[in-house]
Chain A
C-alpha cells in the first residue's frame, strides 16, 4: 500500500461531493423504503423513525418473486458456464478451422436487440410449452450470459502457457481432463468474474420476464416491481422496499468482489 499524499484531501472532498450527488437516487430509494405507508406527500429527508412496514408488505407480496429470480439467475449462471467454458477453451487453445468465424459470430450476438429474440421466442415457446417456465426463462436469459462468458473466458485462457497444457497431455490426460484439472483451475478469477456478471444480467432481466411469462406462476422480481407500480401507486414504501431488495445482489457484488467488477466491465468492452 502506497501512502496517499497529504495534499490530496481537497480532491477527496470534491470526490465525495460528486459521489453523493451521483448516488442520491440510491439514498432516496432506501430512505423512501423506510417511510410509513401512504406518506406520499413530502417524504422526510432522513428516516428518523424508520418504519419497516414497507419491507413486510414487500416480502409478503414479492417474496416468491425474489426466490424465482434467484432460481433463474443461478440456473443461467450454471448453463452459461457449462456451455461457454469448453467453447472458450477450444477457441483459445485449439487451432481449429473456423475459429475466427465463431468468434465473429459471438461478437455479433452482442448487437442483437433482445426484443428480436423475444419476438421469435414467444411463438416458439407457445408451441413448445415453455412460456411461464423456469427452463424457458433460464434459456432466454442466457442469451446475455453465454456470449459474454465466451468472450471473457477465451481472452483469459489465451494467456494460459501452452507448456502447462502440453505437459498434462504428455502425462496422458485427455482433452476434457486437461480442461477440468488444468485450464479451469488456473482461470478461477475469470470464472468468478463471469459468474458474477451472468448472475447480475439475469437478475436484472426485464424484457424476457415481460414477454415470456403471462401468469404469476413464474414471475421474476423485475416484473414484480413493474406490476407493483401499476397496481399500488399509493404504497410507495412497499415498492421502494422491493427495489432495495432487488438491489441487494448488485450492492453485495460491489462490496465483496470490487476487483472482479472493474475487471469485468473493462474486459467485456474492449475484447
Chain B
C-alpha cells in the first residue's frame, strides 16, 4: 500500500521533472553562475586560457566607484519612471475612452495592440528612421510647418536622446497598459456607476469614488509588471542610440551587455547584471503582494 502510493507520487512527479530540469538549467544555473562570475576576473583571453582568478569584491567596487555609474543609475531611474508614468496615464486614458460603446470599438482596440506585438528591433529601427535629424519625417514636418528651421537632434543630442528613447518605449508600452486596465474597468459592476449617478455624482466624482478605488489592485499589477519589464529593456536602446551619444542613454542593462560582450569583462558584466536582478526582485516581491491583493479583491 505504502509502496503503491510512493509509486503513484513518483509517476505524478514525472510530469513536472522535464520542465523543472529545464528551468533549473536555464534560470537556476545562470543565476548561480552570475554570482560566481561576479567575483572573478575575466579578460578577452579567458575563453582561450580558461584563467579567471577570483578577485573578491573588486568587480563590484570598480563598478560602484566608476565615474559613469551615478549617471547610469540616474538614466535607468529616469528611463523606468518616465516610461511607466506616461504609458500608464495614456494607457488609462485609452482604456476609459474604449469603455464607451461606439461602432468599431472592438476592432480599434485590437489594432492598438500592434505596437506592442511588433519585434522591438523593428519598432526601434522605424523610430530611428523617423527621428533622423536630417531626413526623418518628424523633423521634416517641423520644418515644413516652419516651427523649427534647423530641426531637433532627437537621437544625436546628449539631452534629447534619453527623452526620445523614453518616448519610443512609451509608445511600445501603451497597448499593454490599455489592455490590462480595460480588463480591470470591465470588471467594475455597472450598477455602481448608476448608483453614483443617482447620488448626483458627475464623471469626475464617479471616477474618483468608484472607478479609481476599484481599479487600484489592477493598477498596482500594471505598474509593477511594467517596472519589471522596463528596467531590463535593452533592445530599443541598443537599436536606437546604442547607449550614446556620450553615454547619455546607458542604463544598467546596456552597461551589463557592453561590459560582457563588447569588452569581454564578464566579471564586471555579471556584477552589473546582479544589481539589475536585485532591483527586479524587489519589484517582484511588490508584484506578488499586489497580485495577491488583486485576487482577493
B274 cross-chain contacts in A, Cβ below 8 A: 116
* Given contact pairs A15-B102, A236-B129, A109 touches B27 in the complex (Cβ within 8 A): yes
A100 to B257, CA, bound (A): 34
Q: Are B256 and A4 in contact (CB under 8 A)?
A: no
Q: Is the CB of B239 within 8 A of A246?
A: no
Given contacts A12-B108, A117-B30, 14 further A-B contacts (CB under 8 A): A10-B102, A11-B97, A11-B100, A12-B104, A28-B126, A111-B277, A115-B234, A116-B30, A142-B26, A206-B238, A226-B121, A240-B125, A262-B110, A265-B176
Interface positions of A from 1 to 55, Cβ below 8 Å from B = 4-5, 8-12, 14-16, 18-19, 22-23, 25-26, 28-29, 32, 40-43
Whether A87 touches B110, Cβ cut-off 8 Å, given contacts A15-B102, A206-B120, is no
Interface residues in A246-271 by Cβ distance below 8 A to B read: 246-247, 250-251, 253-254, 258, 261-262, 265-266, 269-270
Stretch at the interface among B153-161, B208-216, B278-286: B278-286
Please report whether the interface of chain A is mostly helix, strand, loop or mixed according to DSSP: helix
Which 3 pairs from chain A and chain B are nearest by CB?
Answer: A8-B102, A87-B19, A120-B30
Chain B, Cβ-Cβ closest to A265: B179
Set B19, B29, B130, B266: member contacting A83, Cβ < 8 A: B19
**B residues near A236, Cβ cutoff 8 Å:** 129
Task: Give residues 110-128 of B contacting A (CB, 8 Å).
Answer: 110-123, 125-128
Residues of chain A within 8 A of B116, CB atoms compared = 265
The reply to whether B273 and A115 contact each other, CB–CB distance below 8 Å, is: yes
A143 within 8 Å of B (CB atoms): yes
Q: What is the number of contacts between chain A and chain B, taking CB atoms within 8 Å?
A: 281
A5–B270 alpha-carbon span in the complex (Å):
58
Q: Which of A56-64, A89-97, A160-168, A185-193 interfaces with chain B?
A: A89-97
Residue on A nearest B276 in the bound complex, by CB: A113
Contact, CB under 8 Å: B232 / A114 = yes
Q: Does the CB pair B94–A110 fall under 8 Å? A: no
Within 8 A of B (CB), among A177-212: 179, 200, 203-204, 206-207, 210-211
Of the listed stretches B9-17, B61-69, B78-86, B188-196, name the one at the interface; the rest are far from the partner chain: B9-17
Cβ-based interface call for B248 (8 A): no
Q: Which of B162-215 contact A (CB under 8 A)?
A: 171, 174, 176, 179-180, 183
Closest chain B residue, CB of each to CB of A126 = B47
> Per-position contact with A for B20-62: 1 when CB-CB < 8 Å, else 0?
1011001101110110010000000001000000000000000
Which B residues are CB-close (under 8 A) to A71? none
A258 contacts B15, C-beta separation under 8 Å: no
Nearest B residue to A95 via CB reads B12
| Assembled-state Cα–Cα distance A269/B184 (Å) | 12
Q: How far is the CA of A158 from the CA of B224 in the complex (A)?
A: 26
Tell me if B249 is interfacial: C-beta within 8 Å of chain A: no
Contacting residue for A23 out of B20, B26, B111, CB 8 A: B111
Is A120 a contact partner of B29 (Cβ separation < 8 A)? yes
The answer, among B123, B126, B140, for a CB contact under 8 Å with A240, is: B126
